Each structure stands twice: as C-alpha cells, then as structure tokens.
Amino acid sequence: MEQSKPQWFKSSYSASPQNECVECAMNVPQLVLVRDSKVPGGPVLGLAHGSWTTFTDAVREGVLHQRRS
C-alpha cells in the first residue's frame, strides 16, 4: 500500500506580517499533520482527526486563551 504524500496548505488567516503560521496536511490517512511553515523540513506533529477537530472547535469558540509571560 502506497503512503499518501502530504499536501501542505496554510490557513487563509495566516497572513501575518512576520509570516508566523503553521501548515497542515489533511490528506494522510487517519492523521492531520501540522508543521511550522518557516521550517518545512523540521518536526511534524501528527494528530488524530478527532483531536484536530476538538482543537479547532475550541479555537473558534474562544475557549483557548493566549498564555501571558
């Protein structure tokens, strides 16, 4: 069985002047892959689709808050 090659994309909301954003790939079976767009050859975080949905729903609903230093 051939593995799917990740097809990376940035969110339409990722237009910050500092170019600080993540890229996602959702075409890999059973996983959503996430990486730093500035380091495409760096580490990749793999999440189950359900976990990714829970996270993005929480962001949309404002449940998550920015950590203060």
Q: How high is the pLDDT of residue 19? A: 67
Nearest to 30 by CA among 47, 15, 8, 13: 47
Local confidence band at 69 (pLDDT 50, 70, 90 cut-offs): low
Q: Among residues 11, 10, 6, which one has the least CA distance to residue 31?
A: 6
What pairs with residue 23 in β-bridges? 10, 35
What confidence score (pLDDT) does residue 1 get? 47
Q: What is the pLDDT of residue 12?
A: 72
The share of the chain scoring above pLDDT 70, in percent, equals: 84
Over residues 33-63, the pLDDT tens digits come to 999 988 889 999 999 999 999 998 998 898 8
Q: Map out the domains of the chain as residue ranges.
A: 9-61
The string over 8-37, giving b where at least 16 C-beta atoms fall within 10 Å of a residue's C-beta and e elsewhere, is: beeeeeeeeeeeeeebbbeeeeebbbbbee
Residue 2: is its pLDDT beyond 60?
no
